[in-house]
A and B are shown apart, each in its own frame.
Chain A
């Protein structure tokens, strides 16, 4: 079962975990990304490419289910404006055993960083700056092969 959501609403961790736990797995792995208050960031704005974003995340989740025996994969990404400390992304994977769930979860968040059309803009008071892509993110995505 794949669940993808891209929306401005806050991410409800309890509801998302309960939903994926209901799939009969032996283990759930999850990753939650929060907005960091880097160098005085007061607000983060997330832009995305409607349509392509959902398609790219679905394709990513499908590639994880082909690579590992998963009973469920969830990717939730928030868009719009958010503040430091708020959840921006949530990934969860369900499998019979921990290793598959943990590896698939790491794969999904590493690949999401470089393989889905999102752009971050940081606001510091009145100033706004687009975040530059990191070479280390390409390396993290690349460690999972082609």
Chain B
């Protein structure tokens, strides 16, 4: 699946997107965040406090306990601040 990062999550990870293939057992967005945290020190810094993160699956906002299902695109980012 493609994972997209925005704002300070993108800066800490050091990339705006990457393609990942999580193992079986990673079934929710929260699971994915925990798994991604192990990929590098930048990922660990981005995902150290999951409660500060928000997510979208295939461009729809979802809670962190949402199942990944057949997600093609998962985005992880801080709470939005537009307007």
Contacts and interface: CB of A to CB of B under 8 A. Distances in A.
A binds B: yes
A119 interface: yes
Interface in A50-84: 51-52, 55-56, 77
A116 B80 contact: yes
Contacts of A131: 81
Q: Residue among B6, B8, B80 with the most chain A CB within 10 A?
A: B80
Interface residues of A, number: 28
A117 B59 CA distance: 10
Q: Residue among B77, B79, B81 with the most chain A CB within 10 A?
A: B81
Contact of A119 (B7, B56, B59, B61): B7
Contacts of A77: 82-83
A130 B46 CA distance: 14
Contact of A120 (B56, B61, B75, B82): B82
A48 B82 CA distance: 9
B78 interface: yes
Contacts, number: 67
B4 A120 contact: no
- Provide the main secondary structure of the chain A interface: mixed
Contacts of B61: 56, 115
Contacts of A55: 59
Interface stretch (A14-22, A97-105, A106-114): A106-114
Given A117-B6, A118-B83, A119-B7, A49 B78 contact: no
Interface in A127-141: 130-133, 137
Nearest to A121: B7
Interface in B29-83: 56, 59-61, 75, 77-83
10 contacts: A49-B4, A52-B56, A89-B83, A113-B82, A113-B83, A116-B80, A119-B77, A119-B82, A120-B81, A133-B79
Given A89-B82, A118-B83, A133-B80, 5 more contacts: A56-B61, A113-B82, A130-B8, A130-B81, A137-B83
Interface of B: 4, 6-8, 56, 59-61, 75, 77-83
A-B complex: 10 closest residue pairs judged by Cβ atoms: A118-B82, A133-B79, A52-B59, A119-B7, A113-B83, A131-B81, A120-B81, A130-B8, A112-B83, A116-B82
